[in-house]
Structure 1
Amino acid sequence: MDIAYLVTPITTWLVVGPIKFLITSVRQRRLAFDLVGNGGFPSNHSAVVTSMATLIALREGIDHPAFGVAVTLAFIVMVDANSLRQHVGRQAAAINRLAAGAAPKPLRERMGHTLVEIGGGICTGIAVGFAINALAAAL
């Protein structure tokens, strides 16, 4: 197995995490350790699946069945990030309002991603996929 297929998703996750933390911290005007996780710009999940689809396209070609599987998985992840997880966040907000003061810790309300955040993840994933491919080819 080519190690690039293992390194790519891990590297993408490690690249996107600090970017998301820095952007969130700037927006909040404080170190936003408590906001690290689901939601925010760019989308980690979108970046990871896109980086793998990009690497497969570059290595195997877009006519390879693995690319079709990767694109299908990416589509499912992005739809989930945009719709289902946003609905979960809305439910958390409603529960927090109902349980105001009764719950020891409120539920996290920021769960899903906007289309812009998903787009940022796609762009980051493509960039990391190209970078890993170029680096692996150079070695």
Structure 2
Amino acid sequence: MLFIHELINNEIISVTFIAWFIAQILKVILTLITDKKFDVYRFVGSGGMPSSHSALVMALSTAVGLKKGWGSVEYAISLAVAMVVMYDASGVRRSVGKQAMILNKIIADKHNHKSLKEIREKRLKELIGHTPIEVFAGALLGILIANVVM
């Protein structure tokens, strides 16, 4: 029971999830503005503006730096993890999304090719990764939220 109490009252965890939550809400709002539709899936989905992964890890890293010190081992570890997550979001996961677009087009065009008629796969998810600007915006959001909340 003490563990749950400490977990709930952990400032760093709270800041981290506040940043994630705000980034996800912003995705819904921006989709509403740009696409003129309310897409609740944007709240739980990956990809899009701003990167909630980047907001989460940079809020974590900034909160650790503010609480433990910029020269601490904890800050160094959290910053390294943040860099890996943000690189992955704009690199590997973005490439996977581009490949999904190409494969979806091939599957959609299968009716023109007898050899591809057997493919019965559903459409692959295309919005997986982030552009560098989405990652940067998420990182700035995380830093801002950590500085405001801490």
TM-score (norm. length: structure 2): 0.81
Using the alignment, how far apart are the partners of 2:61 and 2:131 within structure 1?
Answer: 21
- How far apart are the structure 2 equivalents of 1:15 and 1:79? 21
Aligned partner of 2:3 in structure 1 is none
* Equivalent position SS for 1:99: helix
- Equivalents in 2 of 1:122, 1:74: separation in Å? 9
The residue that corresponds to 1:92 in the other structure is 100
Distance of 2:73 and 2:138 partners within structure 1? 23
Superposition deviation, residue 115 in structure 1 = 1.2
Q: CA deviation at 1:118?
A: 0.8
Structural mapping, 1:1-139, within 5 Å: 3-36=10-43, 37-100=45-108, 103=120, 105-133=122-150
Task: Report the more deviating stretch, 2-11 or 32-41.
Answer: 32-41
Q: Distance in 2 between matches of 1:83 and 1:10?
A: 24
Q: Distance in 2 between matches of 1:29 and 1:96?
A: 25
Give the direction of change, closer, same or farther, for the CA distance of 1:35–1:14 in structure 2 (3 Å limit).
Answer: closer
Structure 1 runs not aligned, ≥5 long: 134-139
Letter in structure 1 aligned against 2:90 = N
Sequence identity (%): 28
Q: Normalising by structure 1, what TM-score?
A: 0.87
**2-side partners of 1:82 and 1:13: how far apart?**
17
CA distance in 2 between partners of 1:6 and 1:26 (Å): 30
Q: Distance in 2 between matches of 1:22 and 1:125?
A: 18
CA distance in 2, matches of 1:60, 1:124: 21
Tell me if the contact between 2:24 and 2:42 (Cα under 8 Å) persists in the aligned partners: no
C-alpha distance after superposition, 1:68-88 (max 9, x if no partner): 101100100010000101111
Larger Rg: 2
Aligned-CA RMSD value: 1.7
- Which moved further from structure 2: 48-57 or 29-38? 29-38
